Amino acid sequence: MYLYLVTPLLGSLKNYVKYKHFNILVFVRTLYVYFILHLAIQTNNTWLILILERWFFFAFKIIRSIINNDYNNKKQKYIKKYNIIYPIQEINANVEG
């Protein structure tokens, strides 16, 4: 039973360190997803529930990123921040130069 608290506690700690804010909804959301998965799958295998929860949020974040077009929206930010040169920039630089 304690295993169900490890991921939410560590995630909350990471978010607090990064954002200096504790979000109780994010903490409870993970426990809620555990509960829903447990009811849907009808298993007592704690490890399976933990893995499926991570996969669920992994897929959720990928889909959200695609819908929000994060690659193009954040591209300029990363070009400035990390001096990244994308392949299309190299082609444009070669054509212009």
44: three-class secondary structure by DSSP? coil
How large is the average pLDDT for residues 37-48? 92
How large is the average pLDDT for residues 51-58? 94
Q: What percentage of the chain carries pLDDT values higher than 90?
A: 53
How large is the average pLDDT for residues 38-63? 93
Sign of the dihedral defined by the CA atoms of residues 43, 44, 46, 47, in that order: negative
Instruction: For residue 4, give the H/E element and its range.
Output: helix 3-19
- Residue 54's pLDDT is 93
Sign of the dihedral defined by the CA atoms of residues 9, 20, 29, 62, in that order: negative
- Residue 51's pLDDT is 94
- Residue 61's pLDDT is 93
- Residue 76's pLDDT is 81
Q: What percentage of the chain carries pLDDT values higher than 70?
A: 90
The helix-helix angle for 70-82 and 46-68 (nearest 10°) equals 90
How large is the average pLDDT for residues 65-71? 91
User: Is the pTM here over 0.85, yes or no?
Assistant: no
CA distance 37 to 45: 11
